[in-house]
């Protein structure tokens, strides 16, 4: 059970990027942030709430472009290398002394791209349930859910679909997650907050997989400490991906979290927090 003696101060912060877009984040605690969290596609900063509470650290959890309260990109480009530039700005602005960058799914690939381009900003990285070996077959269950309806007649209809696609999560957890990731429209219907083009079906899927595969080369050249956290019941990372990671970066650590699906932070937040604390203190 998660016991929190004194709840930390949490505030929403935002900044203007050079092109006029807004980037938003949640700032946890009053000290210099030690950890920066980067969520996955179709999620937002609140996906990390329980993990950060369990860790008890000062942290920043960003809303990625096209998600939460951050601006959408007019070009619809949410590739890891593009997102990494905004994450770098977020670290420089909000968490310049962060010792650990944690990214899940698309946020994990973005974290890898960031560590390759700006190693000065990423002394340690944790990548949650993703590798450059991801493809449309491995991620089909996730993309089927994300590419489903954008609007729903009622909150109950939205909740029912979310429960159907997230069998490893409690209903109370999913209800809270939806309230942070959807909004009610004037006619009473509900709509997801994220930009649909973050998961738009791509005509050149083969080219996209090729671009993601190029991140293996980035991993091979990383000097920072790296941990891959794999969801025990998730299909997104397979044994071949782990073998390729260990071939490319022999000092990379791999942790399997039993009972967790793709969203390890939602399914097993305390176990994930324990692992992150160990890496942070190493």
> Quick check: 54 pLDDT over 70?
yes
Radius of gyration over every alpha carbon of the chain, rounded to an integer in angstroms:
18
Give the pLDDT band of residue 158 (cuts 50, 70, 90): confident
pLDDT score recorded for residue 197: 63
Percent of the chain with pLDDT over 90: 66
Lowest average pLDDT, out of 47-56, 76-85, 130-139, goes to 130-139
Residue with tokens 């920043």: 60
More confident residue, 118 or 151: 118
Residue, of 140 and 102, whose pLDDT is higher: 102
**pLDDT for the residue 167:** 73
* pLDDT band per the 50, 70, 90 thresholds, residue 26: very high
Residue 37 has pLDDT above 80, yes or no: yes
62 pLDDT higher than 60: yes
* C-alpha pair distances (Å), 24 with each of 11, 133, 231, 241: 11, 30, 28, 33
- Range in 41-55, 62-76, 148-162 with the lowest mean pLDDT: 148-162
Which range is least confidently modeled, 2-11, 55-64, 248-257?
2-11
Domains delineated in the chain: 10-135+196-281 (3.40.50.1820)
* Residues forming the active site: 105, 129, 262
pTM of the model: 0.84
Residue 252 has pLDDT above 60, yes or no: yes
Quote the CA–CA distance of 271 and 265 in Å, as a whole number: 9
Per-residue confidence band for 70, with pLDDT thresholds at 50, 70 and 90: very high
Please write the tens of the pLDDT for every residue from 173-227.
788 778 777 888 889 888 877 776 655 554 466 677 778 889 999 999 999 999 9
Token pair of 210, please?
A: 């090729």
């Amino acid at each position: 059970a998660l016991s929190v003696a004194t709840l930390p101060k949490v505030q929403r912060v935002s900044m203007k990027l050079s092109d006029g877009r807004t980037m938003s984040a949640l700032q946890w605690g009053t000290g210099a942030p030690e950890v920066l969290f980067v969520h996955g596609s179709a999620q937002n900063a609140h996906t990390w709430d329980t993990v950060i509470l369990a860790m008890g650290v000062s942290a920043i959890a960003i809303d990625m472009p096209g998600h939460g309260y951050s601006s959408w990109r007019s070009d619809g480009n949410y590739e890891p290398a593009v997102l990494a530039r905004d994450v770098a700005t977020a670290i420089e602005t909000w968490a310049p002394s962060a010792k650990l960058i944690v990214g899940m799914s698309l946020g994990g690939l973005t974290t890898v791209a960031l560590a390759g381009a700006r190693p000065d900003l990423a002394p340690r990285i944790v990548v949650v349930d993703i590798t450059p070996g991801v493809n449309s077959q491995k991620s089909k269950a996730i993309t089927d859910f994300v590419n489903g309806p954008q609007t729903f007649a009622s909150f109950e209809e939205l909740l029912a679909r979310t429960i159907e696609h997230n069998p490893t999560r409690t209903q109370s957890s999913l209800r809270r997650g939806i309230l942070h990731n959807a909004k009610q429209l004037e006619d009473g219907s509900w709509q997801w907050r994220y930009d649909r083009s973050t998961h738009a079906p791509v005509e050149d899927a083969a080219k996209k997989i090729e671009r993601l595969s190029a991140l293996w080369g980035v991993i091979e050249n990383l000097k920072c400490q790296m941990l891959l956290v794999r969801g025990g019941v998730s299909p997104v990372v397979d044994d071949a991906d782990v073998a390729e990671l260990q071939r490319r970066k022999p000092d990379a650590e791999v942790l399997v979290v039993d009972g967790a699906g793709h969203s390890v932070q939602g399914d097993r937040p305390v176990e994930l927090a324990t692992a992150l604390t160990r890496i942070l203190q190493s």
